[in-house]
Amino acid sequence: MKMILEKVAYGQKSVLRQLMELYKYDFSEYELDDVNEQGYYDYPYLDHYWTEDGRYAFFIRVDGKLAGFALVRALRVDTEGNTIYSIAEFFVMKKFRRMGIGSEVAISLFDMFPGIWRVGQIENNASSQLFWRKVISEYTDYNYEEGRRDDGEGPLQTFKSNRSNGA
């Protein structure tokens, strides 16, 4: 199976919005969000990926088929000049899970955006925590810090991407 990341063009925003609904539905078992009166979960930051610098939206394709998406944010630049990135949202459709696709996507993103990464999860999403700890441990050879998200609502892993380390 061949995985590619494809930058989401503005004309494809409606496709990303539809995938976001699937993601938010999956995520509803962990968060208390309800659908609105039109039956949508809605994602208030979607338009920001085409109107703000430092936001990057990617489709995940497997053998040419849509398999999910990843949203990346550049948060700020630290005092040493490193850009600090975050995984804003990350979704692999159930059909494509447990095949190594998510790990491959995460590693591709870490390499694509060299700098400091802060990857957080919500407290009651144990499978997400296991996934990110495993990927980040393998990617960094266990060279990462574990802390808490800024809002205190879950774990946070912080590390420097290998590419920015010269690896």
Helix (H) / strand (E) element for 24: namely: helix 13-27
Gyration radius of the chain's alpha carbons: 16
Range 37-75 burial, b when 16+ CB lie within 10 A, else e = eeeebebeebeebeeeeebbbbbbbbeeebbbbbbbbbe
Tell me, yes or no, if the pTM score tops 0.75. yes
33 is written with which tokens?
Answer: 């969000």
pLDDT (tens digit per residue) in 19-61: 999 988 888 877 777 777 887 788 888 999 999 999 999 999 9
Helices 126-140 and 101-112, packing angle to 10 deg: 50
Q: Which two tokens stand for residue 65?
A: 């088929």
Taking only the tens place, the pLDDT of each residue in 128-161 is 999 999 999 999 999 999 989 877 788 999 999 9
DSSP state of 97: T
Q: E-assigned strands of the chain?
A: 3-7, 55-62, 65-77, 83-92, 116-120, 145-148, 155-160
